[in-house]
Amino acid sequence: MDLAIEQRDGNVGLSASSGAWIPVESGGGRLEEASRGHRQLSFAGWTASPGGSRVPTAVLIFVDGRFAATAEVSRPRAEAPERLHFEVELPAELVGEGDGVRFFVPSPVGAAMELDYPDGYAFAARG
């Protein structure tokens, strides 16, 4: 099943090839690091489930509006145990000049939550 970021009636959501629509909300966590190496892009951040209910197990990664990869959520952060850490590396050729890289966490209520990004995020979606 293919997933893509789309806007419908002014609302952002994830659209599945099956026709399913998953609304997007904010507050899924935070991307804290993003860097480009010669052969790879590296990302790291944290996520948490609202209210501490179901713990997310993966972060969905979209490149240029299309689903590209997942990052496994791993260990709790020492300074904030309710926040779960993730790290992922993507091949540099996966992301072209100007392509946006966005991160989402599935929520237990049938929505997806987009992570917050650092100021000056180099892989912000353009246009």
Domain boundaries along the sequence of the chain: 24-116
> Tell me, what's the pLDDT at 79?
75
Residue type at position 39: R
pLDDT of residue 84: 86
Radius of gyration of the chain (CA): 14
pLDDT in tens, 83-118: 888 999 999 988 887 789 999 998 777 889 999 999
- pLDDT value, residue 52: 56
24-116 fold: Immunoglobulin-like (2.60.40)
pLDDT tier, 48 (very low <50, low <70, confident <90, very high otherwise): confident
- Provide the residue type at 24 as one letter: V
* Residue 50, pLDDT score: 54
Reported as a pLDDT band with limits 50, 70 and 90, residue 14 is: very high
